[in-house]
Structure 1
Amino acid sequence: MSPEEFDELYRASAPRLVGQVHAMCGDVAEAQDVVQEAFERAWQHRSRLDRERSPEAWVRVTAMRLAVSRWRRQRNAVLAWRRRAHDLVDAPGEPFDPVLVAALLALPEAQRLAIVLHHLADLSVEAVAAELAVPVGTVKARLSRGRRALAAALAAPTVKEGRHV
């Protein structure tokens, strides 16, 4: 891949990848950092990136793995932060509703990744399975469970007998 092609790849896909990783990790600054690092790694491997084999997918997988790796290292800090009952703050310019991001963060990692890749990255179930190196049936199960959990988390209160439940 030539430097010009790489620049085109970056311009075309970086904002989209930041949004997808943000939905995965819940922090737009973290998403920007991991996407940048993923592109740095892609630059080092650009001679092996093939336009026909979706270099954007390579960068996305790398960024998602970096985000998960960082998340695991910071898990104890996040748990301590949550114990203090700090609410998510709606930072201006963030592309996703904080309620949605919080609901996504509450999902198990595998379900969250499947939801983000399928619904936000707009990948087919087969493409998600290929990126995650899991069977198609596993992706379908993760999507089903993840959607069910998101629906429950995002459901508006229902009204029964004149009272909110």
Structure 2
Amino acid sequence: MSFDDFYHAHFRGLVVQLRAYTGDVAQAQDLVQEAFCRVFARWDQVSRYDDPLAWTRRVAWNLAHNRWRRLRTARAWLLRQREAHVAGPGPDRVALEAALAVLPARQRRAVILHYLADLSIAEIAAQEQVAEGTVKSWLHRARAALAAALRDTTEEAQDA
């Protein structure tokens, strides 16, 4: 049997098995593909085994187990690195992000650069290659739009 015949005869079956083990079809396909790459590199030797499929299956399962073990170790390390649980965004943060999202891009960029990045109006003007008056105008319009959007959000919350 040629390697191509062996591959076509057994690839799908191994993917089904590894998919059931990993719970992820893409990961199963990657693992089986890697196993077949290793078989291909040793095909002259593996093809003479009594059951080349058993060897290929064992390689695929070992790869899956090794990947799972590496992920478990990485997850444990990451959990140890966390200093404290960070809560999700509060309602005010969500409302602010929603209000920022509706601003025109230049106004949004100006607000973020001025209030979050602590850039001066002159620094923003230089970065955006516009006059300082233009940046002041963007900020003024953005603050007005944000105030209106946040006021609407507060009123909706009070009505509910």
Give the structure with the larger helix fraction.
Answer: 2
Normalised TM-score (structure 1): 0.43
Higher relative contact order (CA 8 A, sep 6+): 1
Normalised TM-score (structure 2): 0.44
The structure number with the bigger radius of gyration is 2
